[in-house]
Structure 1
Amino acid sequence: MEIRRRRPLVSFTGRSRARRRTRAWRPERPGRGFERRRLPRSSGRSAVTAAPGPRQAAVGSPSGLGQGTGTVPAAPAGNRRSLAVTWGTLRCAKLCESQRSHLTQAPRGKAQARLTLLKLHNEKQASFSVKPRSGRISRLHLDGGSSVMALRALKFASLTAAASGIYLYGNKFLDPNDFGVVRVGRAIATTAVITYDYLTSLRSVPYGSEEYEFLKSQVHLRSAERLRELCCSNRGTFIKVGQHLGALDYLLPEEYTRTLKVLHSQAPQSTRQEIEQVIREDLGKEIKELFISFEDTPLGAASLAQVHKAVLQDGRTVAVKIQHPKVQAQSSKDILLMEVLLLVVKQIFPDFEFMWLVEEAKKNLPLELDFLHEGRNAEKVAHMLKNFDFLKVPRIYWELSTSRVLLMEFMEGGQVNDRAYMERNGINVNEVSRNLGKLYSEMIFVNGFVHCDPHPGNVLVKKCPASGKAHIILLDHGLYQVLSESFRMDYCRLWQALIKADMKRVQKYSRRLGAGDLYPLFACMLTARSWESVNRGIDQSPVSASEDMEIRSNAAAYLPQITQLLNNVPRQMLLLLKTNDLLRGIESALHTRASASSFLNMSRCCIRAVSTYQRSKSHSLYRRAQISLTEALSLWQINLYELFLWLKGSQLGNWVIALLRRMQHFTY
């Protein structure tokens, strides 16, 4: 093969930017034109793009196609610039051994560079790649063999990471839900789909028509199902917020509450390994060192923790509440994500006012995650309500309790809404409903310290073998609401006005609690009764099926006004509304809803609370005596009315009423 000179390649290098001409040697190739290329300034350590050269066949594959790697002896610091300057002469990737002598006859500096290229296949201190079709050197690294080793290390690390990920996922040690990007992406996607559904599904339908109402119900149902799937996938805080929404029976559309109620029974469960890890980290011992026996299957699982039955070394049977290991780390990020998404949705739907939900979660969730705080609440409420012999609160074992592990006395019973369980065990359903009303009236109106999570899994009932009476077991004391004195007094007076059907006082105290002009809606939300029943008197007649249906349908129709009202009332009211709805759900399951006795218990507690407050503010002995006398007379009136109701409902009362009617008939 002939070697002929071609047009020189021009490069600019050096501080003086002097032009140097170099002659490029390459074999004759038909159809190839000449090429001029300006080479970049380089210190010799960066990648350089060079023109095609003939020598790469010796380094890569025999045909000179594909990738080739070679090495260059480490150049001295002062010679690196000259190598970069004359690198244009290295476009000789296809020279054979017999043609080397022609290259070495070139000037000294260029020969040094050419000889460097000829040694690439002998040593491994640099690397380059070859373009498949032209045979050009596309990338050259002059930093020794570190790039080759780094590439190999990267490949090895990638393969190792992939294999480890597959192994961990297959053995359930790795959960995709633990990655923030997965949780955030899932929440954003669900929010976007729900928003798009509301924007497009109702656009072409006349507002208020039957078709509009039907489509709106369908959109509510689809959105509620998507929200439920999001809560089940992201778990933790999302399930907690979903449970809160599912408890608002008379404040949200029925499609949402009915769909989200299942979250109470679909909470995630931690594995045995995760439980052992939490106990080891918090108590410093293994499970077998602390307990004689420990049941793997939890008694119950909630959004933040789960409870196991165990037996201590001294023989005591205990309930061990263990927090899910990943909830605490994810809770703050989840709340921030919800806040951002709700703000975005509010920009699209200005009437959407659910920021109160995030504010409540932000305030209460850290308290619920601290099990020591829960233990203190349990002891406080047990001491505060010690006069109620039917109330049982599990005892806390502080020596084995931490912020993530809580050991308490083991108590068992049926759920408070399980009417069939009560009938099987001879428990009086009306007695349970009446005692539950007493319990919460005392907490709300008298003490201002309210257990705000009375869903059926947290309230159990059991018949006492000795006395035959029903005991109420109160569990899960993480969420309590402390009511201020002024709020508690306004709330007491509002309920007194509602029971007496005093509309002027209802309006007055509703406005003082932030309802404003929406006080009729506020009164209906508190009582879960229609405005007609509120005006007539909520204790005059029980709730009918038609009235209950009317209340639920109005919750969907007045959703913008309801959300506006929830943003205006004091934050203390929000958990009370949730508690009221949970208690009404229990009463509905027991068929004891809106009984007269429940309102009588509320009236007693309101009278006692207001009288105690007035005495504390009075400095006159005469005024205090007057307040006490008024309180006693009011309580006697309630007792007489309760006696009348009992006689009216009993057989003896029916006989007395019949006798009076006969006497009246004979008189006339």
Structure 2
Amino acid sequence: MFRSLAHRPLLRRGLLLTTGITTAWAADKYAYDSTIQRNVRTLYNGALITADYKWNFVEGNAANFEALHERVANRILSVCKENGGLYIKFGQQIAAVPVLPAAYNKTFKVLFDDAPAVSYAVVEKIIEEELGQSPDQIFETFSRTPLASASIAQVHRATLKDGSVVAVKIQKPEIQRQIGWDLFTYKILCRAMEFFFDLPLTWQADYIERHIRQETDFENEARNAELAAKNVREAPGSLSDRIHVPKVNWKYTSKRVMTAEWIEGIRFTNPELLEGQGWSKKEVMRTVVDVFADQIFRSGFIHADPHPGNIIVRKHPTSSRPQVVLLDHGLYVTCSETFKHDYAVFWKAIFSGDLPTIQSIAEGWGVRDVQMFASATLQKPWTPGKAVHVDTSANLEDLFQRQVKMKESVKTFLNNTQSFPKELIFVGRNMNLVRANNKFLGSPVNRINIMANTAVQSLGNNWSMWGSNRNSQHPLHPPSTIERFTQLVTSRINYWTFRATLFFTALVFHMSRAAQKMRYVVLGVQGAGFEDMIDGGMRRTMQDQFGVTIDDEAFSG
């Protein structure tokens, strides 16, 4: 048979090709965790999706748009689920983009469930590679089944030899081998989307890539946790007593393994359990808003992923009051002093009606649509897992133009992407999640007033900060008498305008709370809260400005 094959070149070449392909496939699958296959799958489906939209998202085909969006969303979901790893995170980010159609929101909800866990044998191997000892040598007990599993890691409960109970976070083995290619492919897709659909995406790709890489380094996460704890201790008021960050055990922490104290607690978005402990939803939510407002406006070191799974509540060690515990410190953003100051001034200017300052800061950040930006800053219609979509009751002849209008609004929102503070990518994510959490609990606190007050407190108590200019006078050109008088009057007007705005916002908040309670007493239902009222205003604003209707679920947690 072999002699026969030797005289048949085509068969011989075919056999060699088949052998080569099989060998390459096996090497990729078992040595490189299917990295090549995953990226080929991604690029292939990316090309199909691009072609699908180019051919079918055209004027006159509006009746088929919903099917088009659903088809593409399912294709992307399939890629994310098959590839796993960081693609789960990419899928969650896609689901959070507000300008995507509702089909994406509905399709991608499954990506917020627990990810598949790796076996104990794999966990044991990683611990030995990272810490130089087996779990049995390090720990007195170690749960073989993880208590939680996410896209990057899974968490096991364990007990050290001294009896201390700890949480051990284990990075999944394929992450380090896949991350380089995954992020490279992500950037290629951003460039392709920008080229084919003329949407600004690449300006943020490097920044997001850097933070995702940091998130996969557990030593970096441990440092983040310690810095976050330090900032809490230094915070003014009682925040240090109301917030706890689990202590890191550095002896058993490495790039892929992180060990920290185990904290027993309940999710703060479980109102029944909170009330069962005798804890006030208002007190708990106020603590959550306070800590993240302090991070944004004072410390500038901000937890960028405060979803409900990363916040728990426990009984305070020395009292019966609740204490909020912050978990998962992998994704943080560090804000510059200039950004912190300007962002605080921007909040102050919105509440004091200081239009020149609002315009000046927004233009300095390369923002073209100042009104849209100010609305987004205060009311935040960008919740993870939800979508903004065009009103399907609209006339089909108008549907194409209305979706194009939304695209144009997004495309032209930024006048200069180089000037836009990239910190806002993750600051916005933080605020969106906090807002959604407040709404989920029935809006027990006035989040907006707390944020505005914290912003102003971070600027200090000098009257000069209430002037109309965000920058102080140049020392070589002291103000004239008229200018000083004008500044004096302007600063008082701005201050009292700010206070009056907060007063009326608080009045509306308390009226909405009273209405909520009345509905509950009379009808037995919770009813809409303050965040719901804000959401309604944003829906009307988006309808008036962009001709689109926001899904009722777009603001849900």
Q: Which category of TM-score, normalised to the shorter sequence, fits these structures?
A: 0.7 to 0.9
Quickly say closer, same or farther: Cα 1:328–1:473, change in 2 above 3 A.
same
Quickly say closer, same or farther: Cα 1:506–1:287, change in 2 above 3 A.
same
1:203-249 residue CA offsets vs partner (Å, 9 max, x unmatched): 3526xxxxx2x64344333322322221222122212222233344x
Q: Partner residue of 1:362?
A: 209
Whether 1:511 and 2:511 are equivalent positions in the alignment is: no
Q: Partner residue of 1:571?
A: 422
Tell me the distance in 1 between the aligned counterparts of 2:109 and 2:6.
63
Quickly say closer, same or farther: Cα 1:274–1:201, change in 2 above 3 A.
same
SS in 2 for 1:442: helix
Identify the match of residue 415 of structure 1 among 233, 246, 267: 267
Q: Partner residue of 2:519?
A: none
1:280-314 residue CA offsets vs partner (Å, 9 max, x unmatched): 10111111111121112212112211111011111
Alignment of 1:170-249 (within 5 A): 178-203=33-58, 205=60, 212=62, 215-248=64-97
The answer as to whether partners of 1:253 and 1:555 remain within 8 angstroms in 2 is: no
Q: Which moved more, 1:611-620 or 1:553-562?
A: 611-620
Aligned-partner residue type, residue 298 of structure 2: V
Alignment of 1:489-508 (within 5 A): 489-508=341-360
1:77-130 residue CA offsets vs partner (Å, 9 max, x unmatched): xxxxxxxxxxxxxxxxxxxxxxxxxxxxxxxxxxxxxxxxxxxxxxxxxxx967
SS in 1 for 2:258: strand
SS in 1 for 2:459: helix
State the superposition RMSD in angstroms: 4.2
Whether 1:485 and 2:332 are equivalent positions in the alignment is: no
The answer as to whether partners of 1:499 and 1:599 remain within 8 angstroms in 2 is: no
Quickly say closer, same or farther: Cα 1:428–1:634, change in 2 above 3 A.
farther
Whether 1:426 and 2:281 are equivalent positions in the alignment is: no
User: What is the CA-CA distance between 1:316 and the residue it aligns to?
Assistant: 0.6
Q: TM-score, normalised by structure 2?
A: 0.72
Q: Which moved more, 1:313-322 or 1:288-297?
A: 288-297
Pick the structure with greater CA Rg: 1
Tell me the distance in 2 between the aligned counterparts of 1:370 and 1:521.
36
Tell me the distance in 1 between the aligned counterparts of 2:375 and 2:502.
28
Q: Aligned residue pairs: how many?
A: 464
User: What is the CA-CA distance between 1:275 and the residue it aligns to?
Assistant: 0.8
Aligned-partner residue type, residue 575 of structure 1: F
User: What is the CA-CA distance between 1:565 and the residue it aligns to?
Assistant: 3.6
SS in 1 for 2:163: coil
Tell me the distance in 2 between the aligned counterparts of 1:247 and 1:358.
16
User: What is the CA-CA distance between 1:268 and the residue it aligns to?
Assistant: 3.3
Identify the match of residue 471 of structure 1 among 299, 323, 329: 323
Identify the match of residue 585 of structure 1 among 426, 436, 451: 436
Tell me the distance in 1 between the aligned counterparts of 2:76 and 2:513.
49
The answer as to whether partners of 1:497 and 1:503 remain within 8 angstroms in 2 is: yes
Alignment of 1:256-405 (within 5 A): 256-350=104-198, 352-386=199-233, 387-388=238-239, 389-405=241-257
1:366-392 residue CA offsets vs partner (Å, 9 max, x unmatched): 211211111111111111112411111
User: What is the CA-CA distance between 1:269 and the residue it aligns to?
Assistant: 1.7
Q: Which moved more, 1:471-480 or 1:577-586?
A: 577-586
Q: Partner residue of 2:396?
A: none
Quickly say closer, same or farther: Cα 1:607–1:218, change in 2 above 3 A.
same
Alignment of 1:653-668 (within 5 A): none
User: What is the CA-CA distance between 1:556 and the residue it aligns to?
Assistant: 9.2
Aligned-partner residue type, residue 440 of structure 2: A
Aligned-partner residue type, residue 296 of structure 2: I
Identify the match of residue 377 of structure 2 among 523, 526, 544: 526
Unaligned ranges ≥5, structure 2 = 392-401, 466-470, 476-483, 515-557
Quickly say closer, same or farther: Cα 1:470–1:129, change in 2 above 3 A.
closer
1:593-645 residue CA offsets vs partner (Å, 9 max, x unmatched): 8x5x322222221112222798999999xx9xx9xx99xx9899699959985
Quickly say closer, same or farther: Cα 1:575–1:279, change in 2 above 3 A.
same
User: What is the CA-CA distance between 1:577 and the residue it aligns to?
Assistant: 1.5
The answer as to whether partners of 1:417 and 1:589 remain within 8 angstroms in 2 is: yes
Tell me the distance in 1 between the aligned counterparts of 2:7 and 2:68.
60
The answer as to whether partners of 2:191 and 2:201 remain within 8 angstroms in 1 is: no
User: What is the CA-CA distance between 1:445 and the residue it aligns to?
Assistant: 0.9
Q: Which moved more, 1:315-324 or 1:422-431?
A: 422-431
Tell me the distance in 2 between the aligned counterparts of 1:418 and 1:189.
42
Unaligned ranges ≥5, structure 1 = 1-65, 70-127, 132-137, 140-150, 207-211, 531-547, 652-668
Q: Looking at both structures, which has the greater relative contact order when contacts are Cα pairs under 8 Å and sequence separation is at least 6? A: 2
Aligned-partner residue type, residue 304 of structure 2: C
Quickly say closer, same or farther: Cα 1:649–1:195, change in 2 above 3 A.
closer
SS in 2 for 1:178: coil
Aligned-partner residue type, residue 307 of structure 2: H
Q: Partner residue of 2:306?
A: 454
The answer as to whether partners of 1:607 and 1:634 remain within 8 angstroms in 2 is: no
Q: Partner residue of 2:294?
A: 442
Quickly say closer, same or farther: Cα 1:204–1:549, change in 2 above 3 A.
closer
Tell me the distance in 1 between the aligned counterparts of 2:219 and 2:122.
20
Identity rate, percent: 28
Quickly say closer, same or farther: Cα 1:349–1:403, change in 2 above 3 A.
same
Alignment of 1:118-137 (within 5 A): none
Tell me the distance in 1 between the aligned counterparts of 2:289 and 2:348.
16
The answer as to whether partners of 1:183 and 1:234 remain within 8 angstroms in 2 is: yes
Tell me the distance in 1 between the aligned counterparts of 2:7 and 2:451.
88
Tell me the distance in 1 between the aligned counterparts of 2:294 and 2:68.
41
The answer as to whether partners of 2:100 and 2:387 remain within 8 angstroms in 1 is: no
Tell me the distance in 1 between the aligned counterparts of 2:286 and 2:357.
27
User: What is the CA-CA distance between 1:500 and the residue it aligns to?
Assistant: 3.6
Q: Partner residue of 2:459?
A: 610
Q: TM-score, normalised by structure 1?
A: 0.61
The answer as to whether partners of 2:102 and 2:389 remain within 8 angstroms in 1 is: no
Tell me the distance in 2 between the aligned counterparts of 1:401 and 1:376.
11
Quickly say closer, same or farther: Cα 1:560–1:618, change in 2 above 3 A.
closer
Aligned-partner residue type, residue 570 of structure 1: P
Quickly say closer, same or farther: Cα 1:492–1:198, change in 2 above 3 A.
same
> Hey, which of these two has a bigger chunk of helix by percent?
2
Aligned-partner residue type, residue 430 of structure 1: K
User: What is the CA-CA distance between 1:406 and the residue it aligns to?
Assistant: 0.6
Tell me the distance in 1 between the aligned counterparts of 2:474 and 2:196.
56
User: What is the CA-CA distance between 1:488 and the residue it aligns to?
Assistant: 1.4
User: What is the CA-CA distance between 1:395 and the residue it aligns to?
Assistant: 0.4
